[in-house]
Amino acid sequence: MDISTQEQSSYPGLPVFSSLKAEEVVPAVREMLADAREKLEQIRQAEPGWETTVLPLELLNHQISRAWSPVSHMNSVVNTPELRQAYNQCLPLLSEFFTQLSQDQILYQAYCKTDQDEKDLSTEQRQVLKLAIQDFRLGGVGLDHDKQLLFSENTSKLATLQSRFEENLLDAGNAWKRQISDPAIVSGLPASLLESAATNARDENVEGWLLRLDQPTYQAVMSHADNSELREAFYEAWVTRGSDRGPHAVRWDSSDIMEEIMGLRHANARLLDFDNFAEYSMTPKMADSVAEVSSFLTDLAQKSARRGKEELAELVDFAGKTLEAWDLAYYSEKLKQSRFGISEEELRPYFPIDRVLQGLYTLAGRLFGIHLLPQNDIDTWHSDAIFYELRSADGVIIGGLYVDLYARPGKRGGAWMDECVGRIRTRQASEEPVAYLVCNFMPPLAERPALLTHYDVVTLFHEFGHALHHLLTQASYPSVAGINGVPWDAVELPSQLMENFAWEPEVLPMISGHYETGEPLPQDIVDRLLGSRQFQSGLQMLRQLEFAVFDLRLHADYDPGKGARILETLRDVRNEISIVPVPDWNRFANGFSHVFAGGYAAGYYGYKWAEVLAADAYAAFGEEGIFNQQVADRYRQSILAQGGARGAMENFVAFRGRPPRPEALLEQAGILDQAAPPG
């Protein structure tokens, strides 16, 4: 089985997902890595240089990434026991290969010699070398043999443990459901959710409604269910997934896994002479130090606290009672309706998925001169998934995009963009970038299309911003193409910038139209929607800062003698920052996959860091017009096209003409105290 480059009629080289058989994955990966080791040996024996060392290794890494991508992706979107087993068997193999590669002294010296000796390299080539040399050092190339083996062993364990964390979260969510026969209990729930739940019940031969614990159902219950006991049940099930508490206590508990993950991260950081993993994590980022990030987060929290407290007091007053954690979203939605005369459910009929996608792609075309054309003959992993061909204004294919939007059992929660194929432009290989865009929206029903809330629309725009970053890159070398090589605290800039367009009065008519009548979003609803943008911005800011500070302190303050102190650290951070009620049995950390299973360990602050960049960058569109072609072209060339081929600050300054303004985010959120005296 070739899991990477099977041919299809209209687009060569895409994965044929339907041919991927779980039992063939491990042998295919073993064969791929054996072949890669032979090629590595040839590279090691060659005279050091760009053409003999760096370029062949770029191509080799590209081929491995391309081959592994469909396996990793399918494990996330159509998870089965057989595929999961194969995936987990491959993780140590891949980890061993890449750790040995990063610790290879001969290759490291060849890169250093190339950087020193070759004088005519381009800026992009210099960046490839700079980042690779940095990766060698962070991968343990300077360690003695015994320490290298320990570093490698720890890294392999981490890959396996992080996968198990994600699996526990998925299994705990899939295992919980609530069957309801009494109409009074589902009072307040959106009709669209009830229709879907009734279909679930019929499929499982039970009466009434069957509610599952997927993200759109959870959000709808928390925001709209009049029955407090139902909200509490969903809340408990959601915030105790993968933990020692809740309806599935212990069965999928990741507490020991999290403890071991923290210990291994710290151990590897200490092997490299960093005080802690947070310091290790800062090395490739925009931020200079843990202290700088801590100060940044503390400053945001202090400036947001007053607004947040006022918003919470207002909510309690509106509810007329002491609020529990499962009451907040419900009464917030009621207050929002009372103040602005608008609700997310009221907006759903105006955001049918086809209309939103059409408008989003039209917007991208207007800004960047691109066209996304659906291709019905491309093999995908599920009937929900659609492949789009991306073409330039003059009709040239410049990439491809898979879109998979609906929640279903066996699919990881949340929303993300990932690489299917990275861009490469060398004499040896030339391929266009291909991306996956994945969400978990409420699926369509037989009688009507999928209808999105405006929150869903913003999520879609966010992930599409990531996709543009990947697809519009002009970098020639995969290690710096698209989001590759971009510092983790800058990688959210394009996604968060793109969210802003979903709020623009000029864009809303492009992405909305009643699914039955085609009627555009009425102007009075547009006005009310825009008026609600800064609703509870203080509470939202504090919530994200709580997560970011928790993540940072968890890694910066880790003490092997005391252990990870995960619950204690979270409690301390909440006492300092949070102003909302949280029950003692809340196990948020056990569901924090960004940190314990993803790439955001000691880096979750990057969302806020990049949000400052995005708010300031988007202000350029506000100043000169959101469809101003010069601004759009400058943004595309300075940031999207560059990817990681140039420093993130250089990219920002090239676009904005100056460094970012820290106040931009607070201004956008309406939190900045305009009455404060200058100083």
Residues known to be catalytic: 463
Q: Name, in order, each residue with C-beta under 8 angstroms of 6's C-beta and a sequence gap of 6 or more.
A: 13, 14, 15, 16, 19
The three-state (H, E, C) secondary structure of 483-534, written as one string: CCCCCCCCCCHHHHHHHHHCCCCCCHHHHCCCCCCCCCCCHHHHHHHHHCCC
* H helix count then E strand count, the chain: 26, 9
248 SS3 class: coil
**Does an H or E element contain 639, and which?**
none
CA distances from 340 to 154, 334, 522 (A): 53, 10, 14
Query: CA-CA distance, 104 to 151, in Å (whole number)?
Result: 13
Query: CA-CA distance, 160 to 91, in Å (whole number)?
Result: 6
Place of tokens 């608008």: 342
Residue 161: count of CB within 10 angstroms of its CB: 20
Q: Name, in order, each residue with C-beta under 8 angstroms of 396's C-beta and a sequence gap of 6 or more.
A: none
Q: 550-588: buried (b, 16+ CB within 10 Å) or exposed (e) per residue? A: bbbbbbbebeeeeebbbbebbeebbeebbbbeeeeebbb
Whole-number CA gyration radius for the chain: 25
Structure tokens at 331: 């009464």
CA distances from 62 to 86, 404, 494 (A): 22, 24, 23
Residues listed for the chain: 679
Interhelix angle 215-224/228-239, nearest 10 degrees:
140
Residue 322, phi then psi, degrees to nearest 5 = -70, 135
Handedness of CA 607, 304, 238, 265 (dihedral sign): positive
**Does an H or E element contain 294, and which?**
helix 290-319
Q: Exposed, middle or buried by CB within 10 Å (0-12, 13-18, 19+), for 130? A: middle
Residue 206: count of CB within 10 angstroms of its CB: 14
**Does an H or E element contain 400, and which?**
strand 397-406
Place of tokens 């290298």: 148
Structure tokens at 194: 């009830």
Q: Name, in order, each residue with C-beta under 8 angstroms of 492's C-beta and a sequence gap of 6 or more.
A: 606, 607, 610, 611, 614
Query: CA-CA distance, 301 to 175, in Å (whole number)?
Result: 37
Query: CA-CA distance, 309 to 380, in Å (whole number)?
Result: 48
Q: How far is CA 676 from the centre of its chain?
A: 36
Strand order of the β-sheet with 434-441 is 370-375, 386-392, 397-406, 434-441, 416-421
